[in-house]
């Protein structure tokens, strides 16, 4: 009996998935204007990245409390793939990232990686080396900002 229920459930799932067509209309998978804009590399700003952060104000001195919080968050969400040195683990090492990238780019990438991976030629080149897309960790803005401050500490900001 259990096998019959499993077979029926599996068949239902398989047949219920698939392309949706309205009766009398052809299925048209062409992207909407919003989808086209989202994947159009010509609209991409390589200095800022893709996301909501247009400006990120950094102090000259390190915010030690924020860097400490960033270290805690990164130990849970980041260090299984990234080292704080220049050595690659799964993803690239973090050493020097705040010297190579603007804070807006870093914040946008760690909170919104997918569109940037799709558009940024340097990130795509890195993906060819690492072979694994960075997953969206669902970081809130404060966590991302704390990680950025930890990256600054890692790069020698005092």
Mean local confidence (pLDDT), 129-143: 96
Confidence of residue 43 (pLDDT cuts 50, 70, 90): confident
pLDDT at 20 over 60: no
Cβ–Cβ under 8 Å, residues 137 and 110: yes
Of residues 25 and 49, which shows the higher confidence score?
49
Query: Alpha carbon of 5 to those of 10, 14, 33, 109: distances in Å?
Result: 8, 14, 43, 45
User: Is the confidence at residue 12, as pLDDT, over 60?
Assistant: no
Q: Which CATH superfamily is domain 39-154 in?
A: Cytochrome c-like domain (1.10.760.10)
pLDDT at 6 over 60: no
> Which has the higher per-residue pLDDT, 123 or 43?
123
Residue 154 has pLDDT above 80, yes or no: yes
Q: Is 150 exposed, middle or buried (0-12, 13-18, 19+ CB in 10 A)?
A: buried
Q: What is the average pLDDT score of the chain?
A: 84
In this prediction the pTM is: 0.73
> Does residue 3 register a pLDDT over 90?
no
């Amino acid at each position: 009996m259990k096998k019959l229920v499993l077979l029926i459930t599996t068949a239902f799932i398989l047949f219920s998935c698939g392309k949706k067509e309205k009766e009398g209309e052809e299925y048209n998978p062409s992207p909407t204007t919003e989808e086209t804009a989202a994947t159009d590399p010509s609209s991409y700003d390589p200095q800022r990245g893709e996301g909501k952060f247009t400006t990120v104000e950094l102090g000259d001195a390190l915010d030690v409390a924020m860097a400490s919080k960033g270290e805690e968050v990164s130990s849970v969400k980041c260090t299984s793939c990234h080292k704080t040195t220049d050595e690659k683990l799964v993803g690239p090492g973090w050493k020097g990232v705040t010297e190579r990238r603007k804070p807006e780019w870093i914040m946008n990438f760690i909170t919104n990686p997918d569109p940037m991976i799709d558009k940024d030629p340097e990130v795509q080149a890195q993906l060819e080396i690492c072979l694994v897309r960075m997953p969206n960790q669902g970081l809130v803005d404060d966590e991302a900002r704390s990680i950025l401050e930890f990256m600054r500490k890692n790069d020698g900001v005092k």
